[in-house]
Amino acid sequence: MTAGQNAALARPLPLRCVGLLLAVVIACLLSACDGPPVLPLRVGLNPWIGYDPLVLARERHLFAPAELGVVELETSGESIRQLRNGLIDAAGLTLPEAMEMAAAGADIRVVAVLSQSRGADAVLASAGLTTPGQLRGARIAMEDSALAAIMLQRLLEAGALRRDDIRVVVMPATEHEAALTHGSVDAVITFEPVISRLASAGFNIVLDSADMKGEVIDVLVVRADVLASRPLQVAALLQAFEQGRRALLADPPAAARELAPGADLNADEYVRALSRIRLFSRDQSDRMLQALPDSPALALSRISSDLRSGGRIMAEPDWRRLFAVPAPGAQP
């Protein structure tokens, strides 16, 4: 061993200390290079029990609150408003509402088809009014939504009525029951869980969605920028709906016991209401989306035509941009 080597070994401690310190500093700097903290992806839902798989998934802690936030809103109009203004990242909407929103210029994507109404959207009327034709001169309450406008269109067609023959009163679904019960309107265009409560109270179902194939469809809509920047959270959202759907269908009475009180129904009413809805699995949803724009399950042309004739949209939206095909995180 030479003298130079001895000297080098005699001074290793300070060098080691400096080296250690530099390592700590570099480690600290690297640790600060993490990405920004990510907010949970917030999805807004109006009180339609077709969206309840997501509510059930939240109640049963089937997803992490840091990943997803489920917000229950008063009306679908509220969902559209908050989605447009960026307070929520995704929303459960009817297909006509999603189309109307896209036609108005909102950059959104339909990532899943959630459910089909088989009577869970309906027109209910007071005693003595049992057919559409009897509603001439009636006051009809409805939400200011694209789907309600289409339901109204079908009602007028079924009753051979003109728009001037009835009087439309716009109010949120949460007020429909009180309005019909107190007699301030003669009929309501509404949806579950309001239908079950009104039917139990003796009101008549004049028209329902069972015969409107492909029109009364609910979809999951995500803002385009969110889909591009947070695809994993969107995948988690789809996964959460699927898990909630399975839990709901596996034991409907148990799910009803959890969800019904918050919807002002008893468990039996809730199960009956659920039977009027078909909840699509992930595979079914993906197949429908892949078959677009000519999917037989989704009556895009008819809805578009109805919305145009009702003055709710001026031109057809770009279907390729509206539907995310294939859906992110789709199963092979």
Partner 1 sequence: MRAVAALPSRTLVPLLLVLFALLLGVVNNLLQVREYRVLVEQEQSHALTERLGVEQATLDRLIVNGNLLQLRRVVAELGLRPYLTHAYLIAPGGRVVGSLARADVGQDRIDRVIDAEGAALLDLPVQPDQALQIERSPDGRALLAALILDSGHRLLVRSDLELPLAQRLHASRLELWRHAATILLSALVLALFLHVFWLRRAQRLSEAARAIGRGHLDTRVNIGGRDELALVASAFNDMALRLQAQHDALRDGERRMRAMFELAGAGVARIDTLRGRFIEVNARFCDIAGHGREDLLAFDFMQITHPDDLPAELEKMDALRRGRIREFSMDKRLCHPDGRTVWVTLSVTPLWAPDERPDFHIAVVQDITARHDAEEALMLERNRLRAAERIAGLGSWEFHPGSGRVWWSAQMFSLFGMAPANRAPTMEVFMACLHPEDRTAVAVVLEQMKAGAQTLTALSYRTSPECGPVRHLLPSAQVVTDGEGRVIKYAGTLIDTTEAVQAERALRASEERLRATLEHAPNVAVQWFDRDGRVLYWNHASATLYGWAIDEAIGRRIGELVLSEQDARAFMARLESVQRDSLRIGPEEFTVRHRDGTLRYVESSTFSIPGVDGDAIFVCMDVDITARRQAEQAVEKERTHLRTLFAALPDMVWLKSPEGRFLSCNRMTERVLGLREDELVGKTDYDLFPRELADSFRAHDEMAKRTGGRHINEEWITVRDTGERILVQTVKLPMLSEAGELKGVLGIARNITQLHEAQEDLRALNGELEQRVAERTRALSDAMKELESFSYAVSHDLKAPLRGIDGYSRILQEDYGDLLDDQARRFLGNIRNGASQMHALIEDLLAYSRMERRSLESSRVDLGELVQSVLARRADELAAAAVQVVGEVPSLIVRADRQGLDLVLRNLIDNALKFSRDAKPPVISFTTRVDGDRITLSIRDNGIGFDMKYHERIFEIFQRLHRSDEFAGTGVGLALVRKAMQRMGGRVWAESAPGEGACFNLELPA
Among 19, 65, 133, 137, which residue interacts with partner 1 (rule: CB under 8 A)?
Answer: 65
- Minimum Å distance from CB 225 to partner 1? 12
By CB under 8 A, is residue 330 in contact with partner 1?
Answer: no
How many residues make contact with partner 1 (CB under 8 A)?
Answer: 53
By CB under 8 A, is residue 71 in contact with partner 1?
Answer: yes
Helix axes 76-85, 95-103, angle to 10 degrees: 40
By CB under 8 A, is residue 316 in contact with partner 1?
Answer: no
Report the site for partner 1 in 79-118 (rule: CB under 8 A).
81-82, 85-88
Determine the Cα–Cα distance for residues 120 and 277; give it in Å rounded to an integer. Answer: 6
The residue among 38 and 160 lying less far from partner 1, judged by its C-beta, is 38
What separation in angstroms does the CA of 111 have from each of 70, 93, 119?
A: 17, 12, 24
**H or E stretch including 190?**
strand 187-191
Neighbours of 326 (CB within 10 A): 13
- Per-residue string for binding with partner 1, 181-220, x by CB under 8 A? ---x------------------------------------
Among 8, 21, 201, 228, which residue interacts with partner 1 (rule: CB under 8 A)?
Answer: 21
- Minimum Å distance from CB 34 to partner 1? 8
Determine the Cα–Cα distance for residues 272 and 265; give it in Å rounded to an integer. Answer: 10
By CB under 8 A, is residue 13 in contact with partner 1?
Answer: yes
Among 67, 165, 258, 316, which residue interacts with partner 1 (rule: CB under 8 A)?
Answer: 258
Report the site for partner 1 in 152-181 (rule: CB under 8 A).
169-172, 174-175, 177-178
- In whole angstroms, what separates CA 210 from the centre of its chain? 20
Q: Are 43 and 111 in contact (CB under 8 A)?
A: no
By CB under 8 A, is residue 64 in contact with partner 1?
Answer: no
106 CB-near residues (< 8 Å, 6+ apart): 83, 84
b/e map of 287-297 (b: 16 or more CB within 10 Å)?
bbbeebeebeb
What the block records as the tokens of 306 is 């109805």
By CB under 8 A, is residue 70 in contact with partner 1?
Answer: yes
- Minimum Å distance from CB 55 to partner 1? 6
Among 17, 23, 228, 291, which residue interacts with partner 1 (rule: CB under 8 A)?
Answer: 17
b/e map of 232-243 (b: 16 or more CB within 10 Å)?
ebbbbbbbbbbb
254 CB-near residues (< 8 Å, 6+ apart): none
Q: Which stretch binds partner 1 (CB under 8 A): 29-37, 94-102, 225-233, 322-330?
A: 29-37
| DSSP tag of 127 | T
- Minimum Å distance from CB 318 to partner 1? 24
Paired with 44 in beta bridges are 71, 91
By CB under 8 A, is residue 229 in contact with partner 1?
Answer: no
Among 4, 36, 311, 332, which residue interacts with partner 1 (rule: CB under 8 A)?
Answer: 36
The residue among 65 and 133 lying less far from partner 1, judged by its C-beta, is 65
What the block records as the tokens of 52 is 């309840």
- Minimum Å distance from CB 83 to partner 1? 10
Determine the Cα–Cα distance for residues 208 and 314; give it in Å rounded to an integer. Answer: 27
Task: Identify the burial level of 284 via C-beta atoms within 10 angstroms of its C-beta, where 0-12 means exposed, 13-18 middle and 19 or more buried.
Answer: middle
Chain contacts with partner 1 (rule: CB under 8 A) = 11, 13-14, 17-18, 21, 24-25, 28-29, 32, 34-37, 39, 42, 44, 47, 55, 58-59, 65, 69-74, 77-78, 81-82, 85-88, 139, 169-172, 174-175, 177-178, 184, 258-259, 261-264
